[in-house]
């Protein structure tokens, strides 16, 4: 591990030596009238721990020079805070919590209510609960979820410190997730315990929205206590935060903006976060973002890569399990795509065991890039604009809540949802354009808000003996005719086509869970001939939904169907799209059974001739320092049907990384590369930056059949005579 030597000389000097495995870190700092706020950053830099405190803390007492040598962190902190009213807790997840011991009220002085906010996602021991950050932009925070597929999960627990003795009213922010479809008590039940004493209220099974549910009262002594979440069902109970207060009837705010301010005050999150600067900031750690970051890195840029999950790969990770698709090494810029062989998985198939998706290869691929700083488990929450440019992006850790500000002259939005562009005011479209707008025969006559949906994939396993599954009946009725008699579900299990894939995304994901559990419950408990299912149990159900479409940021050029059909040439031709125009729509049979909410999709593959997409589709037309790569680039809904698969989005990322290096080299903008440095970009695309030696040719699966000539020159019976393009 690293050695940090931070030496600052003041009138009164404190020298502290921490021992970390086989390495040491030394700090020297004055504590004469220094506040805790001044000391905490130095402790963090030295120890590698995140340090949090509950409220405004008193100044440290002035003391004589103190030297602690070769002391572990605990002993060091004891000496540091000796004689003060500050206590601390050292957490297993590299956190230190500081607490102020309360003063006893004297005379007729009014006692200030004591209060404590605990974020569930920051629990030390999460047990079987998972951290879900997908909807924090909507409901305000990541949360813990008991994703047990019908089997109660292991308890989550942590240690907290109450500021004073007393009886505390307890509130838990939670959500009854089946409430959009069922008016009764929901399945996501759990309880809360303090010092192993269970509070009387069952949580998570009532209400219609995210809410502070009263959990009861608890009498405690000041100091450390244990806090435990106990799942009762395994059916996705969720806990955002727990609030303790000695003031009766005092609820935290419910409105999103007020709640954000409340959290910052209660958790003492600094108003000004730490700042770091880079040449390029890439937001989104899917295939597009990985390739953008790695390419820019190899061409000399200092890159920050922001990923809001613990694993890289996006839809191709073990959390979603969609295999890579599309052809690489095709067309004039054949150097693009070779990079994907360095980290791409070699086994095809959706909804397969986690090992198939080789997360460790992706992690190592990025770790080996010396110019990349990976911000894993960080989500972008805001941007600071500067006119029509982005100055910086604010990111937040999804577990400990730490915020960081990252500055750069260039940004790449690889979020899929176009989040950075949206926050910066970039132009975008969402939904389907009309047929007349771009002359697309595959577009609807009238524009609408329909998009392709999101998939919650799953599979079961034969356990070799009969298994049980609870009755799951929460508003969706299955019978012998409408049930899905299957043992797994992959991309076709797709929901939310008629809902907003951003604003309604939690409902969309939850409906994906709802149909899986409801259908499986029927197969296990009510299907007349269920021999096929008696010994089977759910073995994996995704809780991270695989999204296909949402915002599409608009660039200097918008790719449309006509470009592809006619093979329209553009001087800035870049990555080649090879996938068919693959637009999903509700499966007609499933929609006949569930007309209000179908959950299966169908498609018709419109095969294409390989098409080189204009570079101008990869940067914003009104935010001058913003690139984009992934499904949020500048295309129509119809054109998205071909460019959205992940080998293709990876090549987009490579082009963005190359263009970013030219922006740095010539101090120009993404548009400036097109206007003044296009020949140099073409040379880079033709050569590529992927390794040539020692890399297996492992990407020959899930490719597409390609037309021998552009579609405009093929008869209407072309689909019967499709051949491989050479």
Q: Please report whether residue 700 resides in a domain.
A: yes
Q: What is the CATH number of the domain that holds 44?
A: 3.55.50.30
CB-based contacts of 237: which residues, under 8 Å, 6+ apart?
A: 145, 146, 174, 187, 188, 189, 190, 203, 204, 231
Q: What is the pLDDT of residues 524-579, one digit of tens each?
A: 999 999 999 999 999 999 999 999 999 999 999 999 999 999 999 999 999 999 99
Please say if the pLDDT value at position 367 is more than 50.
Answer: yes
Q: What is the mean pLDDT of residues 694-703?
A: 95
- Alpha carbon distance 45, 623 (integer Å): 35
**C-alpha angle 184-185-188 in degrees, rounded to nearest 5:** 140
One domain for residues 526 and 652:
no
- Alpha carbon distance 325, 643 (integer Å): 10
Please say if the pLDDT value at position 299 is more than 90.
Answer: yes
**CA-closest candidate to residue 559, choices 570, 551, 549, 550:** 570
| Residues 147/456, Cβ–Cβ less than 8 Å | no
Q: What is the mean pLDDT of residues 304-324?
A: 99
Higher-pLDDT residue of 82 and 137 is 137
**CA-closest candidate to residue 571, choices 682, 657, 709:** 682
Q: What is the CATH number of the domain that holds 255?
A: 2.60.120.260
| Residues 338/691, Cβ–Cβ less than 8 Å | yes
**CA-closest candidate to residue 358, choices 261, 290, 452:** 290
- pLDDT class of 91 with cuts at 50, 70, 90: low
- pLDDT class of 37 with cuts at 50, 70, 90: low
One domain for residues 354 and 428:
yes
One domain for residues 70 and 202:
no
Give 223-236 as a DSSP string.
Answer: EEEEEEEEESSSEE
Domain count across the chain: 4
- pLDDT class of 522 with cuts at 50, 70, 90: very high
**Owner of token pair 């805790």:** 36
One domain for residues 38 and 54:
yes
Q: What is the pLDDT of residues 231-275, one digit of tens each?
A: 999 999 999 999 999 999 889 998 888 999 999 999 999 989 999
Q: Please report whether residue 107 resides in a domain.
A: no
Paired tokens of 520:
């499986």
Helix (H, G, I), strand (E, B) or coil at 459: strand
Q: Which of 547, 567, 597 is the last residue of a domain?
A: 547
One domain for residues 587 and 537:
no
pTM passes above 0.75: yes
Q: What is the mean pLDDT of residues 644-670?
A: 99
One domain for residues 534 and 556:
no
**CA-closest candidate to residue 452, choices 511, 506, 492, 510:** 492
One domain for residues 121 and 237:
yes
One domain for residues 190 and 325:
no
One domain for residues 91 and 164:
no
- Alpha carbon distance 148, 529 (integer Å): 26
Q: Please report whether residue 667 resides in a domain.
A: yes
Containing structural domain, residue 507: 454-547
Q: Please report whether residue 123 resides in a domain.
A: yes
Please say if the pLDDT value at position 6 is more than 50.
Answer: no
- pLDDT class of 26 with cuts at 50, 70, 90: very low
One domain for residues 596 and 617:
yes
Least confident of 62-76, 492-506, 593-607, 631-645: 62-76
Q: What is the CATH number of the domain that holds 363?
A: 3.50.50.60
Q: What is the mean pLDDT of residues 636-655?
A: 99
Q: Please report whether residue 106 resides in a domain.
A: no
Q: Which of 504, 522, 547 is the last residue of a domain?
A: 547
Q: How confident is the model at residue 589, as a pLDDT?
A: 98
Q: How confident is the model at residue 715, as a pLDDT?
A: 59
One domain for residues 531 and 596:
no
Q: What is the mean pLDDT of residues 331-350?
A: 97
Assign 3-class secondary structure to 518-544.
HHHHHHHHCCCCCHHHCCEEEEEECCC
Paired tokens of 691:
């390794």
Q: How confident is the model at residue 12, as a pLDDT?
A: 27
Q: What is the pLDDT of residues 569-620, one digit of tens each?
A: 999 999 999 999 999 999 999 999 999 999 999 999 999 999 999 999 999 9
Q: What is the mean pLDDT of residues 77-95?
A: 70
Q: What is the mean pLDDT of residues 141-165?
A: 98
Q: How confident is the model at residue 249, as a pLDDT?
A: 84
- pLDDT class of 53 with cuts at 50, 70, 90: low
Instruction: Please provide the average confidence, as pLDDT, over all residues in the chain.
Output: 90
Least confident of 27-36, 441-450, 688-697: 27-36
**Owner of token pair 């690293």:** 2
From residue 126, give the alpha-carbon distance in Å to each of 91, 233, 320, 348, 372: 13, 16, 21, 32, 29
Q: How confident is the model at residue 266, as a pLDDT?
A: 94
Residue 195 φ/ψ, nearest 5 degrees? 50, 45
One domain for residues 535 and 569:
no
Q: Please report whether residue 575 resides in a domain.
A: yes
From residue 627, give the alpha-carbon distance in Å to each of 96, 334, 580, 630, 676: 38, 22, 25, 10, 17
Q: Which runs of consecutive H residues, i.e. helices, occur in 211-340?
A: 256-267, 287-298
From residue 569, give the alpha-carbon distance in Å to each of 193, 573, 608: 66, 7, 15
Q: Which of 251, 269, 287 is the last residue of a domain?
A: 269
Distance, first Cα to last Cα, the chain: 51
Q: What is the pLDDT of residues 379-394, one digit of tens each?
A: 999 999 999 999 999 9
Q: Please report whether residue 449 resides in a domain.
A: no
Q: How confident is the model at residue 57, as a pLDDT?
A: 41
**Owner of token pair 């929609």:** 591
């Amino acid at each position: 591990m690293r050695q940090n030597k931070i030496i600052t000389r003041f009138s009164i000097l404190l020298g502290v030596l921490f021992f970390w495995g086989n390495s040491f870190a030394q700090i020297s700092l004055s504590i004469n009238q220094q506040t805790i706020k001044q000391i905490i950053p130095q402790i963090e830099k030295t120890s590698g721990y995140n340090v949090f405190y509950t409220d405004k803390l008193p100044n440290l007492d002035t003391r004589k020079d103190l030297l602690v040598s070769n002391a572990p962190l605990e002993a060091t902190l004891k000496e540091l805070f000796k004689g003060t009213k500050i206590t601390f807790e050292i957490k297993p997840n590299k956190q230190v919590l500081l607490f102020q011991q309360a003063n006893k009220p004297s005379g007729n002085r009014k006692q200030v209510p004591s209060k404590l906010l605990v974020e569930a996602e920051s629990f030390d021991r999460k047990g079987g609960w998972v951290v879900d950050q997908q909807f924090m932009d909507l409901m305000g925070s990541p949360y813990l979820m008991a994703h047990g597929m019908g089997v109660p999960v292991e308890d989550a627990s942590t240690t907290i410190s109450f500021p004073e003795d007393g009886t505390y009213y307890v509130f838990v922010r939670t959500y009854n997730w089946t409430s959009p479809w069922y008016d009764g008590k929901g399945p996501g039940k759990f309880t809360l315990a303090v010092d192993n004493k269970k509070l009387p209220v069952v949580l998570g099974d009532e209400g219609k929205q995210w809410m502070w549910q009263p959990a009861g009262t608890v009498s405690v002594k000041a100091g450390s206590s244990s806090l435990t979440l106990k799942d009762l069902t395994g059916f996705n109970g969720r806990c955002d935060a727990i609030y303790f207060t000695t003031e009766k009837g005092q609820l935290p705010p419910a409105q999103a903006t007020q709640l954000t301010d409340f959290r910052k005050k209660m958790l003492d999150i600094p108003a000004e976060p730490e700042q770091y600067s880079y040449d390029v900031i890439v937001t989104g750690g899917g295939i597009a973002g990985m390739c953008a970051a790695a390419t820019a890195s190899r061409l000399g840029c200092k890159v920050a890569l922001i990923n809001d999950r613990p694993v890289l790969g996006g839809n191709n990770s073990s959390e979603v399990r969609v295999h890579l698709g599309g052809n690489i090494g095709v067309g004039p810029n054949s150097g693009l795509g070779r990079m994907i062989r360095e980290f791409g998985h070699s086994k095809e198939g959706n909804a397969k065991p986690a090992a198939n998706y080789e997360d460790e290869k992706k992690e190592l691929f990025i770790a080996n890039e010396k110019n990349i700083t990976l911000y894993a488990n960080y989500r972008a929450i805001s941007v600071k604009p500067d006119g029509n440019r982005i100055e910086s992006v604010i990111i937040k850790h999804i577990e400990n809540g730490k915020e960081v500000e990252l500055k750069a002259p260039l940004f790449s939005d690889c979020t899929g949802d176009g989040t950075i562009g949206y926050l910066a005011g970039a132009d975008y479209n969402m939904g389907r354009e009309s047929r007349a707008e771009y002359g697309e025969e595959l577009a609807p006559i009238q524009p609408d808000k329909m998009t392709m949906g999101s998939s919650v994939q799953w599979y079961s396993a034969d356990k070799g003996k009969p298994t049980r599954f609870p009755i799951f009946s929460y508003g969706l009725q299955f019978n012998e005719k409408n049930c899905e008699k299957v043992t797994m579900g992959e991309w076709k299990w797709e929901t939310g086509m008629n809902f907003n894939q951003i604003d309604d995304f939690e409902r969309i994901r939850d409906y994906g869970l709802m149909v899986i559990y409801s259908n499986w419950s029927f197969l296990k408990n009510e299907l007349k001939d269920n021999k096929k299912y008696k010994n089977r149990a759910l073995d994996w159900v995704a809780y991270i939904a695989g999204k296909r479409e949402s915002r599409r940021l608009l660039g200097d050029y918008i790719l449309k169907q006509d470009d592809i059909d006619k093979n329209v040439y553009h001087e800035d031709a870049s990555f080649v799209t090879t996938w068919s125009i693959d637009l999903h729509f509700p499966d007609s049979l499933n929609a006949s059974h569930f007309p209000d909410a179908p959950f299966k999709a169908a498609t018709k593959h419109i095969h294409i001739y390989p098409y080189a997409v204009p570079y101008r589709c990869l940067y914003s037309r009104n935010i001058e320092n913003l690139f984009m790569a992934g499904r949020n680039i500048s295309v129509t809904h119809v054109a998205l049907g071909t460019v959205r698969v992940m080998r293709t989005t990876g090549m987009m990322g490579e082009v963005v990384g190359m263009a970013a290096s030219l922006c740095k080299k010539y101090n120009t903008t993404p548009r400036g590369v097109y206007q003044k440095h296009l020949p140099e970009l073409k040379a880079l695309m033709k050569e590529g930056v992927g390794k040539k030696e020692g890399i297996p040719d492992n990407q020959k699966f899930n490719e597409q059949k390609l037309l021998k000539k552009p579609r405009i020159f093929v008869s209407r019976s072309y689909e019967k005579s499709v051949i491989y393009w050479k």
